[in-house]
Amino acid sequence: MKVNAYLEITMKIEMANRAAAAKVYTDYRNPFLETIEGALTKELLIRDEDVQVLHGFDSAKNAEAYLSSEMFQKDVFVGLKPLWSADPDVKIYSVA
């Protein structure tokens, strides 16, 4: 399958909390790829100023649906929220 949409979540996470954030990413990467409809890729991108998770999907509809999925709402969101120093920036892009 081809990536037709990306879900980009950019988070402000202090250096002291980045190992805990990376653990959440690692813990849920394979379950995300194996169980979320349309999920194709998931990458962790790190910069000095923020951390970004870039999710590749087969459609923008499935990218949006992931945000209300049980995995995101009850596991990923709960694990990451205490680590944020600001609300995350969430964007969905369609591939042209």
- How confident is the model over 41-54, as pLDDT tens digits? 999 999 999 999 99
Number of domains composing the chain = 1
Phi then psi for residue 90, to 5 deg, are -115, 125
Please return the burial class of 84, using the count of CB atoms within 10 Å of its CB with bins 0-12, 13-18 and 19+: middle
Q: How far apart are CA 62 and CA 15, in angstroms?
A: 31
**Cβ 19 vs Cβ 79: under 8 Å:** no
pTM beyond cutoff 0.85? yes
- Domain of 73, in residue numbers: 5-94
Q: What element of type H or E holds 45? A: strand 39-46
User: Where residue 42 sits, what CATH number does that domain have?
Assistant: 3.30.70.100
Q: Which of 87, 90, 74, 75 is nearest to 25 (CA)?
A: 75
Q: What is the pLDDT of residue 1?
A: 86
